[in-house]
């Protein structure tokens, strides 16, 4: 296995994964459409950081390429797969976010379901036999049993985004069953860290704190999230790659979380303490589609993958704020 195609390779998780794989000696193709869900210059800056790393390490330029295209473009995918013949596809590209999916369910279905099907078809046609799919903890909905285990019933999503991720998992299983493509579906739990998308809570709140604005604070602060640091997510993705390539006829679903919960109130207090700024809260009611808590049972990925997250929330927030200050020094 030498050549890895990463969809969404310019995004938050994707850019970190591309850097990691390049350091591991893989040839990497980052596929991204640089859409305007958030400022595309942020994603282009991520790509420049990757290229800077390549220069710093004296790696050949040919080890990394960027393809600007849309996963729904079947002709473009045909051309890309025929030309590059990747050994593995890691599918991170998606329209993300619960609330925006309620506002535009057609777009979320088109990108997350039709786009995933387009990639699976390309893998079938061009013989790409290893596939990693980025799913989401949102598939658990308001699961009453905690922590959430991969064997739990997940047929009660409460947002279009969650429904599209469950649909993606089902499509992956179908293509594994029919065509023998080896698969790992990874349910990410609230990922944070350097390069986090600006619309996500920690980054958004840090920006509002830094500029003296009110923080939108939904509910009473008791909602809980299993915040997972980006380095632990990347480690889990890599270990799932090793698992998928270790044998044939493999399909499974794995949680990638920190297996600890942080309340909204505690998250804000941690951010206040780390940044040295007192928050001004704008208290708002709970929003449709928001789950009350996410909490990963990681017994299975620990046993099967050797996944072992090691960054506690305070350490992760310290690293995030350090990056945030450096990144925004000329922007705030």
Q: What residues are annotated to the active site? A: 161
Rounded CA gap, 140 and 154, in Å? 5
Altogether, the residues listed in the chain come to a count of: 332
Tally of CB atoms within 10 A around 6: 28
Query: Cα separation of 46 and 34, whole Å?
Result: 11
Q: Residue 251 is inside which H or E element, if any?
A: strand 251-256
Backbone angles phi, psi at 169, to 5 degrees: -60, -40
Check residue 244 and give left, alpha or beta (phi > 0: left; psi -120 to 50: alpha): alpha
Integer-rounded Cα Rg, in Å, for the chain is: 19
Helix (H) or strand (E) holding 316, with range, is helix 313-328
Per the structure block, which two tokens stand in for 319?
């690293």
> If you search the block for the tokens 């079947």, which residue do you land on?
74
- Distances in whole angstroms, Cα of residue 238 to Cα of each of 58, 227, 316: 23, 19, 20
d(C-alpha 140, C-alpha 293), whole Å: 10
Which residues are registered as beta bridge partners of 192? 229
């Amino acid at each position: 296995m030498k050549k890895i195609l990463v969809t969404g390779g310019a995004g938050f998780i994707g850019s970190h994964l591309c850097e990691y794989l390049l350091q591991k000696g893989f040839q990497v193709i980052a596929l991204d459409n640089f859409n305007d869900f958030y400022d595309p210059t942020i994603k282009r800056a991520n790509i420049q950081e990757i290229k800077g790393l390549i220069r710093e390490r004296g790696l050949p330029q040919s080890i990394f390429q960027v393809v600007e295209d849309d996963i729904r473009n079947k002709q473009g995918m045909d051309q890309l797969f025929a030309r590059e013949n990747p050994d593995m596809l890691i599918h991170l590209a998606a329209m993300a976010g619960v609330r925006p999916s309620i506002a535009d369910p057609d777009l979320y279905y088109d990108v997350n379901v039709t786009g995933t099907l387009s990639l699976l078809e390309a893998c079938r046609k061009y013989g790409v036999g290893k596939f990693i799919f980025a799913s989401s903890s949102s598939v658990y909905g308001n699961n009453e049993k905690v922590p959430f285990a991969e064997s739990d019933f997940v047929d009660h999503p409460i947002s279009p985004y969650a429904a599209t991720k469950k649909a993606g998992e089902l499509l992956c299983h179908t293509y594994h069953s029919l065509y023998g493509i080896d698969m790992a579906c990874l349910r990410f739990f609230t990922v944070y860290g350097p390069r986090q998308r600006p619309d996500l809570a920690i980054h958004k709140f840090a920006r509002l704190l830094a500029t003296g604005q009110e923080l939108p604070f939904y509910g009473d602060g008791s909602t809980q999230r299993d915040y997972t640091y980006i380095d632990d997510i990347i480690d889990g993705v890599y270990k799932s790659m090793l698992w998928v390539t270790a044998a044939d006829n493999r399909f499974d679903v794995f949680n990638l979380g920190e297996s600890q919960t942080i309340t909204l109130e505690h998250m804000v207090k941690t951010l206040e303490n780390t940044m040295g700024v007192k928050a001004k809260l704008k208290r708002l009611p709970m929003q449709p589609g928001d789950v009350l808590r996410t909490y990963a049972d990681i017994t299975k990925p620990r046993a099967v993958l050797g996944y072992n997250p090691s960054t506690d929330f305070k350490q992760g927030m310290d690293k995030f704020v350090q990056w945030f200050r450096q990144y925004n020094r000329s922007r705030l």
